[in-house]
Every structure is written in structure tokens, then in C-alpha cells.
Structure 1
Amino acid sequence: MKAVVNVDVGGPAISRHLYGHFAEHLGRCIYDGFYVGDDSPVPNVDGIRTDIVAALRELEIPNLRWPGGCFADEYHWRDGIGPKESRPSMVNTHWGNVVENNHFGTHEFMQLCEMLGAEPYISGNVGSGTVQEMSEWVEYLTRSGDSPMSRLRRENGRDDPWKVRFWGIGNETWGCGGNMRAEYFADLARQYATYCKNHDDNTLYRVASGARDDDYSWTEALMKSISCLGCAQGPRDIYQALSFHYYTVAPTWENKGRATSFSDDEYELTMAKAWRMDEIIAGHSRVMDCYDPQARIGLVCDEWGTWWKAEDGTNPAFLYQQNALRDALVASLHFDIFHKHARRLTMANIAQTVNVLQAMVLTDGAQMILTPTYHVFEMNKAHQDATNLPLHVVQPGQRRTADGREFETVSASASIKDGQILVSATNLALEGDARIDLDLRGTTWTLGEGRILTAPSVQAHNTADDPTAVAPKKFDGADRDGNTLVIEVPAHSFVTVQLSVD
């Protein structure tokens, strides 16, 4: 690949919220993950596991979405407040039909976010809840003074309100969140958003439940409900963003492959499908541009990642999967795509943070393992709130075809913040180095540190016996040729290179 980067002509800011996370009441993500209970021998603060908090703080995670997912639309928040021994239980019908004791509720989640230094992103119940229920949850969390919900919050031990900007209006309302039609939900989204009020100086960022994959008609229905096609008037300020979900699955949704046992053909099909994220974001953005050319309404991908068969010997409804180098390369590719679309894309949340799907952390009792995907987040964290530096490609890299889908084997992105440039580059090819030439114009620079994440095979993963089988190492494959940064990226590798602007 050869590309030109005009360092003095930056693009839009890369919101730190593109590096968001997701924690659902599913399997061992919350219970036996984030939350072990205050009587656990695993080190904790009020039941919240401290080693996981410390690991995630290293990533500088910007936000955490909770309580779902599908679970959100059967969750009634009042069941999760007050003395734990008095909280009613419920059945988690979506994920294993297990009984939920509601010991991890609103106050515990807010404490977790404070410990992480992350903003809360709460997904409200539209599927089985009421407008009043969600309105009162907003009031409970964010209003001071003498109101019914602020008094209730004080009775439960919290005097001051919290800051909670991000609110999801439903989840997957086209499916598990109510099996609704787009036009019907668009009206509900307007109604719910209207009664989710700004209290005190807490200004809400309301995210309407959006499309699955490339259902652009769903996006159009939501945009039509707040704006008009081609008119000079801007969109109405009812909800501030809409979402979509896209998972990378191979070979098919009905026949998902294994996380660590897969063929070369399955690997290449995975990468071809991961590249679809670019096409899907671009498609939703084009629809939104017709109704909102100034990009006042944000696009949020609040569920993304790989989805494989659950590991043998585990509850298949708990969605516990290992995490290989292949997953890390899907993540690094996705971040390049997210950076490219930073004008419209305002938030993204990987599914999920602990012990579920493409997790950062896997636990087994007191043991904790950092996954290859964790390391991609850590290596990329300097992109958060940096200015995107678009790559103007003049010669693309090698292309491959998998199951009729053509995809590029080389991906890269760059950003600048505080006089530091971070270049991220991925070689998806199973064999052969990839040379990337970036002609950096409009500045002078000094080559800094390089790091690489790779392993002998794309099936490699971290285990209790070998927790650093896939971990970052120093990278010496970057050099300069005049003003051109030259990076020789080994096969199936993710690389970051830092530059200092002189």
C-alpha cells in the first residue's frame, strides 16, 4: 500500500467513545465476571472485582453499556435498588433461563463506572417497560433537589445525582426488543425520548435503537421521523443518535465456526466479512446524509465483534468463547474503519467486555487472562480524541477473495494529538510481509516507538498455561525514506508506530 497523509489538513476528531465497551447480564459477564460479591475470596471492592477494573483502566475505556442487550428489554430497574436481600429475583429468559437475583443493579453499575473512570451508557427498557419507568430512571440517576426519585435515591444511600449522558431508547427493537416494525418503533422512540428529560445540568444523548446489519430502510424510517428529505430545516432534537449492530460470523449465522479451530478458508472468509463493516457504515451514513447533511445526528455501533460457537463444556446460552489472534485482527481492522467514518460515527461498543463473545478479559475463579483483543485496544488508545489523518491511497495492497467476497489484506489509519502521531497498520494475509509507504506531508517528524501483536499462527490464543502467547512486543520494522514512513508488516500482524512532530 502507498498513501499520502496531509498532516496539516486533519479530518474529524476520533471520539474516544469509539473505544466503548458492553456488559450485559449474560453468562459470566456480570456475575462471576465484573461482580463476585463482597464475600468472595477474589479481591474486590463491594463485590466488584479489582483486577478486572485495573486491567480495563489501562485501556482508558471511555464508556460502558449496560444492562443489555436483549436483557435490557426485560429488566425493570426498581428491582435492582435497595437492600440486596430485599430485591426480587427474575428469570433471564434470553440467556439460559437462569434466575437473576438483582444483586448487581443501578448503584453497583454506577460504582463500577466510577472505579473504571468510564461514562455509563444505560440501555432502557422499551420492549416490556413503560415510558414512565424509563423517565423515572433518568430522574432517579440525574436529578438533585426534592423530587420523588431523588428522595428514593437518597433513601438508598446516594445523596448527589450522577452524570449520565448516554441513554439507549430500546435495544434491537426489530428482534428481541419487541419484534417491532420500523415505523412503529420510530414513533415510540420519539415518545420515550420526549419523556427522558434533562435534569439540572445533565444533558442527555439519546440513542434510538437502530438497524441490524445493512437494514438501511430502518435507518431511513428513524431519520424520516425527525427530519425531511432535502429540506433546509435541520433534524428535530428529539434523539441525538441512532444505532446499528453488526457481528462478524463465519461461515454462517446458523453454522458458526470455532474460536480457535478453523481452516485458512474460514480465516479469510472471516476477514472478508469483517471488511463489510466499512460498507455498512457507509450505507447508513448515506441514508442519514440525505436527511441530515450536517451530521448532527450521530451513528452508534453499540454491538460489534466476532461470534463463534461456545466453548465445549460450557453453557451454550452463556456465549463463552476463546479469543485468538484472528479476533484481534478483526478488531484492529474495525478500528481503522471506525476512524475513517469518524465524521458520522460517534460511539462503538464491543460485545462484550468479560467472559462473553469477543471479550477483553477471561476469568476462571481467581485467575484472569488478557485476550489478544485487549492488546489491540491498549495499543490503539492514543487514537482516542485525536484528530483523524485520512489516508489518501494511491496504490492499494494485495487483495484476496473468499467465498466470492473480495477484500484487501492491508489496512491502516493515523491520527495526531498533542504533537504525537500514531499510525496503526494491519496485515491480514496468512503469508508474506506487506509494505506500507505513507508519504507524510505538511510537517517534519521523528520516528518513535513501534510495537507489534502477532504469533506463529492466527489460531494462537492466551491460556492459563501461556497467558502471553499473543502479547505486544517491540517492533523494529519501521523506517523512513525522506518524508515517507515505510513499515514492513509481517503476515497476520497488527503494528503501531509513534511519530513525534518536530
Structure 2
Amino acid sequence: MKRGIILALFALCLSGYGQAQVAVRIADTASKQVISKNLYGQFAEHLGSCIYGGLWVGKDSPIPNTNGYRTDVLEALKKLKVPVMRWPGGCFADEYHWMDGIGDPNKRPKMVNNWWGGAVENNSFGTHEFLNLCEMLGCEPYISGNVGSGTVEELNKWVEYMTSAGDSPMANLRRQNGREKPWKVKFLGVGNESWGCGGNMRPEYYADLYRRYATYCRDYDGNRLYKIASGASDYDYNWTEVLMKQIGDRMNGISLHYYTVTGWSGSKGSATTFTPNDYYWTVNKCSEIEGVIQKHLAIMDKYDAQKKVGLLVDEWGTWWDTEPNGTPLYQQNTMRDAMVAALTLNIFNRYSDRVKMANIAQVVNVLQSMILTKDSKMVLTPTYHVFEMYNVHQDARYIPLTVEVGKVKTASGAEIPAVSASASKDAAGNINITMANIDLDKSQEVTIALPFAAKSASGRILTSKNITDYNSYDNAEVVKPTPFQKIKLGKGTVTFTLPAKSIVAVTLR
């Protein structure tokens, strides 16, 4: 008798081992909230090998290129459907003088990049090269203007140079440099991190400075600027308070920077060698962005109940130690980084009524990049694959979800929901659901209750044997999406097993 009881208890334990239950409910698919495609934006700064060797190799390079742009990188970014790209910084923006980067490339003055390693740049990648790249990718350019070391006149003339179609000095200078028609430039950042590398300013001082600079950044010939104030870092709610109070709707948007980083001094940890506790710390830190967004939005709502001013998280992502023998801020990219991307994008989708843009740092070879390059070699990172899987949400209707799920307890005592999810309805009427299971050991039995009967379902999954796995130049497909086929349709329900440490995108038709 005792032996039978013991065996029965053992069998009961085994039946629940490694699995947990997740109940998801879609109550309404008629939401009017739109997930802006710009939440899936990119960021390209002049540091490390992001620009030179990453995006740009020059027309005379032995590396295959299209008018100087790396052909392999260009094609990969097209597949990603990049909606917007921010340039030239970052901290670099407030030391960049745009007139050094126009005209004959052979006659452009060199400059020392003081922020990132003291590298000497030849300015062969400048305004024309960036804006032409955006045209080739079909994405909006986001220009970050120099307020820290620049002048009002300099920024005013840059806007005129790029966007004026008239018979004006800067428009004519652009024509002399080979571009007859002006570009369309919507997004303009008035400075960057003005509380730090952009000038170490007080918020009160910057607010007045913004009002002055923004006044002289004019709309030319049908081009309408969306002017973005240099907003807060992480938990600096006072900065947002002061800017909302003193600038208000004179700005179209205000930025926010949030990095998943262990600390700003000393070692930040290896990108590829870490423990399960390190991983869960990272996931917890990443998830904290939701509370940070909520607090900044509460301040914004106090001064702008109609939500005219957008919040733009125009720098975010993981930050680890530079790889040995790597260029500044060059880091590998594992399944851990993919999980950070998935969790963060799910959060952005939920707050898309006010969060109107986000730009991950950065597009190539720097921090949490989409792509890594070395000489003629290129590899797509796990984060690239998340962005590609998630681009179904771009400009789709947000669908609220109710998710009942257990929590994972970290070594620090923090508890994190084991599953993150978001959903949207695209123009064709398809329902797209993205989910991430952060648990390293347990799969999740997911049941989704629907207000309709789905006719068909398809999906893809991103996972790997180890959370530390990454794609290298020698083995470029260790982490890549594969078909996710074990999706069962019921009467008003969808069920499937979400494996441990996995990210899934499911489409219901």
C-alpha cells in the first residue's frame, strides 16, 4: 500500500515537472490603438565599426558594395523592414559639425572621435550618405542635432540644406553637391543627453535652450519637422517634469534612454559567458523599463492629458563589456539578448498610445546590434531575428491581452512573470501574437481564449540549446527561427506548448 502511494505521488510529480500553465484571453479585437512601426527603429552612431566597416565601406572597397554601402548589410536591413534610423548620435552628435561631411569626399576634413576611442574619421559618410541610405531602405531619417557644441545658426542651416526646395544659400549648396531635390526629414532631435555628454546641463537651462533652437528649425516647402527634446535617463523623473512644464507642446516628442546594464563603472560582464543568475538579473532589469515608462507617462499626462507629446525611447538595449580585441562597444549577441529584445518590444507595444518611437542601440557592430561584420564576413544576431519576427506588429492595431501566468523567482528575490506577450491585428485581419518564455527550465502550456473561431494558425520559434548560444562567423545559424507547428485549434481556443527559453510568433487567420 505504501509502495503504491509513493509511486502515485512520484508519477504526479513527474506529470507536472518542467511545465506550467498559461491562460491568455483576447476579449476584444476592435482596439483603435495603433502600434507605430517606429517602435521598431534603429540607431546608427559614429562609434566603433557601426558606420565605417559596418554600414559603409566606400565605393572602392574590395568588399561587395552598392555605391559604398555594404551590399550584404543593405539587403539584410531591407528584410528587417527598418521604419526609422537615428543618426549621427548619441554623444557623437553634439560634437558633429555637419558641413565637414558634405562635398567632395576627398576634400572633407578629418576629425577625431573624442567620445569613442579617439579614432580618426575621414567624414566620407555624411549627410548625403545617410539620407540616401534611408531612401534606399525606405525608412524615415531621424537627425540628431548638435546643441552641445553647435550653434542655432548651424542647426538652422542644416535643416535648410536638407529640406529646402527654394532658391536659398543652403539649398543651392546642396545642389552644388549633387542633390537637386530636397530630402524629406521628419524627425529632428534637438540635442542628445543634454544632462550628460550633450552639455551637462540642468533641465531648466536645457528647456530654455530647446525653445530657442526649435524656433529656428523651420518647416520648408511641405516638409514638417517632428521636433524631439532631449529627455531623461532612466529614473530621472524631475527632468521630464521640468521639460513638460517649461516646454510643453512646443515639442512634438521627448526622448528617454534606458539601458540594460549592470553598472556604468568597471566591468559590465561578458556578453557570452554568464550564469543563470546573471541571466535572470538581466531579464529583471530589462523588465523594469515598464515601471520607468509608467512613471514618465504619469508626469506627461499631468501636463498633456490629450497626449499630444510622444515619448520616444530612442536609445535602449543591453550593454556588456567590449569583446577582446574588438572595436569600441563591439559585443556578441546571445539568446539572452534576444530575450531582452522580445520582452522590451512587448512592453513598447502595450504603451503604444503614447510611446511613438524606439531605437535600439545599435544597428551594426555596436552594443545590442542586428548585424555583426568582420572584413567581408557578416552574421545576423539573435536580436535581428526577434525584430524580423516581430515586424508583423508594425502599424497594426494593438490588441489588449489578459495573461495569467506564474512567476520566476530570481536570486535577488525579485519575481518576474514567466511569459511576456503582446498581440495585434494587421491590415489583412490576421491576429499576430508574440510570446517569450523567460524560464530556463520549464515549458509553458498555453491556452488562448478567442472571441472568434480561428480558421488556421501558423508560427515560428526562436530558441537554442543554451541561453549563452550565439551566431559566429564560423557558425552563423546556431540561433535562427524555425517553423512552430504544434498549434492546436479548438472552438474559440488555441493551445500550444511554449518551450523553455523560447520566443514564438503565432499568426491566426
TM-score interval for Structure 1 and Structure 2 normalised by the shorter chain? over 0.9
- The one-letter amino acid of 1:277's match is I
**Bigger Rg, which one:** 2
SS at match of 2:200: coil
How far apart are residue 392 of structure 1 and its match? 2.2
Indicate if the aligned counterparts of 2:453 and 2:493 stay in contact, CA closer than 8 A: no
Pair 1:359–1:475, CA change in 2 (3 A):
same
Q: CA offset at residue 362 of structure 1?
A: 0.4
Aligned residue identity for 2:204: E
- Give the match for residue 11 of structure 2: none
User: Per-residue CA shift, 1:63-112, capped at 9, x if unaligned?
Assistant: 11000000000000000001011111111100001111111000011111
Are residue 187 (structure 1) and residue 208 (structure 2) matched? Answer: yes
- Which residue of 1 is the match for residue 225 of structure 2? 204
Query: Percent same amino acid at aligned positions?
Result: 53
CA distance in 1, matches of 2:387, 2:180: 35
Corresponding letter in the other structure for 1:499? L
**Partner residue of 2:352?**
342
Letter in 1 for 2:455: T
Alpha-carbon deviation of 1:178? 0.4
Give the letter for the 2:360 counterpart.
I
Task: State the Cα distance separating 1:409 from its structure 2 match.
Answer: 1.8
1:233 maps to what in 2? Answer: none
Equivalent-residue separation in structure 2 for 1:11 and 1:253 (angstroms): 44
The alignment partner of 1:380 has SS state of: helix
Tell me, yes or no, if structure 1 residue 371 matches structure 2 residue 381: yes
Sort the Cα spacing of 1:350 and 1:199 in 2 relative to 1 into closer, same or farther, 3 A.
same
CA contact (8 A) 1:250 1:266 kept: no
Deviation at 1:251, TM superposition (A): 6.8
Please list the CA deviations of residues 218-258 of structure 1 after superposition, one character each: whole Å capped at 9, or x if unmatched.
1111100134xxxxxxxx3x210000100111377543111
In the alignment, the residues of structure 1 paired with residue 265 and residue 505 of structure 2 have an alpha-carbon distance, to the nearest angstrom, of: 32
Provide closer, same or farther for how the CA distance between residues 202 and 251 of structure 1 changes in structure 2, counting only shifts above 3 A: closer
Corresponding residue number in structure 1 for 2:366: 356
> Which of 263, 277, 284 is the aligned partner of 1:265?
277
Q: Quick check: 84-93 or 121-130, which moved more?
A: 84-93
TM-score (norm 2): 0.94
Higher mean displacement: 117-126 or 431-440: 431-440
Structure 2 residue 502 is matched with structure 1 residue 493: yes
1:137 is matched with which residue? 158
Q: Counterpart of 2:291 in 1: which secondary structure?
A: helix
Q: Give deviations 1:423-463, integer Å, cap 9, x for gaps.
A: 1000001101012322122x332232111000000000001
Judged with a 3 Å threshold, the aligned counterparts in structure 2 of structure 1 residues 216 and 223 are, in CA distance, closer, same or farther, namely: same
Q: Structure 1 residue 484: deviation in Å?
A: 1.9
In structure 2, C-alpha distance between the alignment counterparts of 1:476 and 1:396, rounded to whole Å: 23
CA distance in 2 between counterparts of 1:187 and 1:430 reads 49
Matched, 1:150 2:171: yes
How many angstroms apart in 2 are the aligned matches of 1:429 and 1:253?
29
Contact 1:251 1:270 in 2 (8 A): no
Q: What is the aligned residue count?
A: 487
One of 310, 321, 336 as aligned partner of 2:331: 321
Shift of residue 465, structure 1, vs aligned partner = 1.7
Greater Cα shift, 257-266 or 45-54: 45-54
- 1:481 match: 490
**Cα 1:283–1:98, aligned 2, differ >3 Å: closer, same or farther?**
same
Taking the aligned partners of 1:110 and 1:9, their CA distance within structure 2 comes to 37
Give distance in 1, aligned partners of 2:93 and 2:29. 44
Distance (whole Å) between structure 2 residues aligned to residue 123 and residue 404 of structure 1? 40
Aligned match of 1:427: 437
What are the within-5 Å matches in structure 2 for residues 191-270 of structure 1? Answer: 191-227=212-248, 236=249, 238-250=250-262, 254-270=266-282
Equivalent residue number for residue 316 of structure 2: 304
Note if 1:453 corresponds to 2:462.
Answer: yes
Q: Amino acid of the residue matched to residue 29 of structure 2?
A: D
SS of alignment partner, residue 458 of structure 1: coil
Task: List alignment gaps of at least 5 residues for structure 1.
Answer: 228-235
SS in 1 for 2:279: helix
Q: What are the Cα deviations for residues 108-159 of structure 1, in whole angstroms up to 9, with x where unaligned? A: 1111111111111000000000111111111100010201110111111111
Q: Corresponding residue for 1:232?
A: none
1:488–1:252 distance in 2 versus 1, CA, 3 Å: farther
Q: CA deviation at 1:487?
A: 3.0
Instruction: State the shift of 1:485 in Å.
Output: 1.9
SS at match of 2:189: strand
Do structure 1's residue 80 and structure 2's residue 101 form an aligned pair?
yes
2:486 alignment partner AA: G
The alignment status of 1:33 with 2:51, answered yes or no, reads: no
Letter of the 2:166 counterpart:
G
Alignment of 1:86-101 (within 5 A): 86-101=107-122
Aligned position for 1:293 = 305
Mind listing any 5+ residue stretches in structure 2 that lack a counterpart? Answer: 1-21
SS of 2:472's partner is: coil
TM-aligned CA deviation for residue 8 of structure 1:
3.2
* 1:57 pairs with 2:57: no
The one-letter code sitting in structure 2 at the alignment partner of 1:473 is T
Q: 2:37 aligns with which of 4, 12, 16?
A: 16
The C-alpha deviation readout for 1:369-427, integer Å capped at 9, x for no partner, is: 0000000011111100000101123x233332342432212101100012111110000
3-state DSSP of counterpart to 1:451: strand
1:293-342 per-residue CA deviation (whole Å, 9 max, x = no partner) reads 11110000000110000111224xx1000000110010000110000000
Q: Distance in 2 between matches of 1:479 and 1:213?
A: 41
User: In the TM superposition, what is the alpha-carbon distance from 1:28 to its structure 2 partner?
Assistant: 0.2
| Cα distance per residue 1:145-182 (max 9 Å; x no partner) | 20111011111111100100001110011110000011
Measure, in 2, the Cα distance between the counterparts of 1:84 and 1:251.
39
2:393 to 383, 393, 398: 383
CA RMSD of aligned residues (A): 1.2
Equivalent residue letter for 2:125: F
Give the 3 Å change call, closer, same or farther, for CA 382–172 of structure 1 in structure 2: same
TM-score of the superposed pair, with normalisation by structure 1: 0.95
Question: Residue 192 of structure 1: CA displacement?
Answer: 1.1
Q: In structure 2, which of residues 127, 135, 138 is the aligned counterpart of residue 114 of structure 1?
A: 135
